[in-house]
Structure 1
Amino acid sequence: MNKQINAMYFSATGTTKKVVTSIANQLSLNAGKDAQIKIFDFTLPAFRREPITFTKEDVVIVGVPVYAGRVPNILLKYLHTVTGNGALAIAVVLYGNRNYDDALIELTDILVSNGFKVVAAGAFIGEHSFSKILAQNRPDEKDMTIVKDFADQIYRKITNNSKFEDLLVNGNRPYKSYYTPKNKNNEPVDIRKVTPRTNTDCIKCKLCVNVCPMGSIDNEDPSKIIGICIKCCACIKKCPTNAKYFADEDYLWHKQELEINFSPRREPEIFI
């Protein structure tokens, strides 16, 4: 496979990164020792300020998390600045064991509209951003075996074909509305403006400031939220003293509901 391999992802807590880079690494191993991988990590806001252009000499693995069953709306503007020019693409979404709904077909459509030829796609499971027990420690060893096999199938497809038919993936057009959480009375609630709190265990190390993908945590006072919070929970999961937490009643009820209702293990789905 005489193409440049590129791994491109948004990954606040590392699950999407793990899958995308593993696909890239396996493609590189199959391609031989001279194959190099370029990394495009657009998790932090500074990287999303400049458009990126690929060519037909590129293979690009593009990965995003699933938010409420869709591609995160805060990424849509940036994703539409990424130009394919005939590059081959692998669309990857990571979801927290509930459902990926229309996220994969939406990402595939975005890539196609930007001039990519999507040759494969996959929906994988990662530990839910809200929780430390829902899909705990996933993607796990079983998942990563599937990831490796997926990459091997992609390599064979690319090396054995010069033309590719349009890829069919699960999903709806038009896309479903974003998944709406409900409160304990089974009424729809809006938790978009809910933000994490900070307790007295905070040591002001500012790790949370540096990992927030929206740049929304104040550098001078990390207890202050100065922008939107997308509930990626990077600040909570990466805090060395467990000083960050959510206290909103509706958010906590929704978190509990997810952990109870969607605990049975979901398995990856691949399309190639």
Structure 2
Amino acid sequence: MISLKENTKNLSILIAFFSATGNTKKISNVIQKKLHDSNILVTMLDITSYASRKEEILLNQYDAVVFGFPIYSMRAPRVCREWLETLDGKGMKCSVFFTYGGFGKDPAHYFIKKLLEKQNFKLVSTAEFLGAHTFNRSGWKAVIDRPNQSDFEVAQDYVMKTVRRFLGDDLNELGEFEKPMYDVSQFDQAEKYRFSLITKLPTKDSKNCSMCGLCEKLCPVNAMNMQKGIADNRCIACFRCIVNCPDGILHTNDLSDSWDKKLKMHKMTKEEVDNLKSKIYL
């Protein structure tokens, strides 16, 4: 019997990911290592920066692609969805994994499948991985220590099951996801929910700024102004500027008061959120 490693000898896979706070990148790195150990050629493409999403991608160089996105307001971020709409899969097999902070993840799989099919990709699998919530930076306490080793082990299993589908060894097809009860326009409105909580966009709260310019350089949507020390209304609340500020002086308003309200809204305890498991969908 030919081993999986022998089958994958000349397989080339692109991993394209968006990672503002590092969760999606951590999972991408685990997937990259597992693919590399399986004798697969891997190319990493970080599309978090504004400039990277403007570069042309020659998909015909690859046999398949793995997309990695966080979940913002129950879907892949709008900037990621808009980027996907510039691609033509031409029948290429692909997979998608999401990272999320414990809430509102289910519609994401349904919507990404519809979008990728529209762009002529063949989606063979999806997965979801727990990752510390973005708003933990402003007072929440959702899955603080994730992703962890248990999530990484699921990621390793996910990528090898996905490779079998890329190769055609697994002839099963990805099933349909349950259609959400709300329409797209209602989910568009839900995206604004982030800003019902964030009343203060990322702002410099001290004059002790080294003026390194990272906040402006790294902003995925060119919303941060280094000189003014504040983001404008293009901000998507990804907190990349806050996470990467070497001086630690960028902040939003304190969201601590909304944490208990969030738990009550989802009828969950903190322990239940922290004990959620990463999942694979095949």
User: How would you bin the TM-score normalised by the shorter chain?
Assistant: 0.7 to 0.9
In structure 2, give the amino acid aligned to 1:209.
Answer: E
- Counterpart of 1:167 (choices 175, 188, 201) is 175
Offset from partner CA, 1:241-261 (integer Å, 9 cap, x none):
32111127xx55435534785
Is contact 2:109-2:177 (8 Å) kept? yes
CA gap of 1:180–1:76, structure 2 versus 1, over 3 A, is closer
Distance, in Å, in 1 between the alignment partners of 2:35 and 2:175 is: 19
Counterpart Cα distance in 1 of 2:130 and 2:85 = 25
| Residue 245 (structure 1) aligned to one of 251, 255, 278 | 251
Q: After TM superposition, list the pairs within 5 Å mapping 1:2-151 onto structure 2.
A: 2-30=10-38, 32=39, 35-55=40-60, 57-132=62-137, 133-151=141-159
CA RMSD of aligned residues (A): 2.9
Q: Is the 8 A contact 1:66 1:103 kept in 2?
A: yes
Answer with 257-266 or 80-89: which moved more.
257-266
**Shift of residue 52, structure 1, vs aligned partner:** 2.9
1:202 is the counterpart of 2:209: yes
Alignment of 1:172-183 (within 5 A): 172=180, 175=183, 177-178=186-187, 179=190
Q: Per-residue deviation at 1:227?
A: 4.9
Cα separation, partners in 2 of 1:242 and 1:162, compared to 1, 3 Å: closer
Aligned partner of residue 241 in structure 1, secondary structure: coil
Contact 2:165/2:171, CA 8 A, preserved across alignment: no
Give the distance between the partners of 1:100 and 1:87, measured in 2 at CA: 25
Equivalent residue letter for 2:109: L
Q: TM-score, normalised by structure 1?
A: 0.83
Which structure has the highest helix share of the two?
2
Instruction: Mark the CA change 1:175 to 1:153 in structure 2 (over 3 Å): closer, same or farther.
Output: farther
Structure 1 counterpart SS, 2:261: helix
Using the alignment, how far apart are the partners of 1:73 and 1:49 within structure 2? 15
Give the counterpart letter for 1:242 in structure 2.
G
Q: What SS does the corresponding residue of 1:69 show, helix, strand or coil?
A: coil
1:233 alignment counterpart = 239
Change (3 A) 1:82 1:242: same
Taking the aligned partners of 1:86 and 1:197, their CA distance within structure 2 comes to 44
Read off the aligned partner of 2:258 and give its amino acid letter.
H
* Ranges in structure 2 where 5+ consecutive residues have no aligned partner: 1-7
- 2: distance between equivalents of 1:181 and 1:168? 28
- Asked if the contact 1:27–1:151 (Cα under 8 Å) also holds between the matched residues in 2, the reply is yes
Deviation at 1:160, TM superposition (A): 4.7
Query: Residue in 2 aligned with 1:270?
Result: 280
One-letter code of the match for 1:108?
K
> What's the CA shift string for 1:221-270, capped at 9, x where partnerless?
1513245111111222222232111127xx55435534785622221121
Distance 1:169 1:24 in 2: 27
Provide the residue aligned with 2:5 in structure 1.
Answer: none
Q: Residue 229 of structure 2 aligns with which residue? A: 223
3-state DSSP of counterpart to 1:98: coil
Q: CA deviation at 1:131?
A: 0.5
- Secondary structure of the 2:242 match is helix
The worse-fitting range, judged by mean Cα deviation, of 11-20 and 236-245 is 236-245
Q: 1:171 to 1:123 in 2, by over 3 A?
A: farther
Paired amino acid for 2:89? G
SS at match of 1:106: helix
Deviations 1:183-232 (A, max 9, x none): xxxxx97357741221114332222222211121114x151324511111
- Inter-partner Cα distance in structure 1 for 2:195 and 2:237: 15
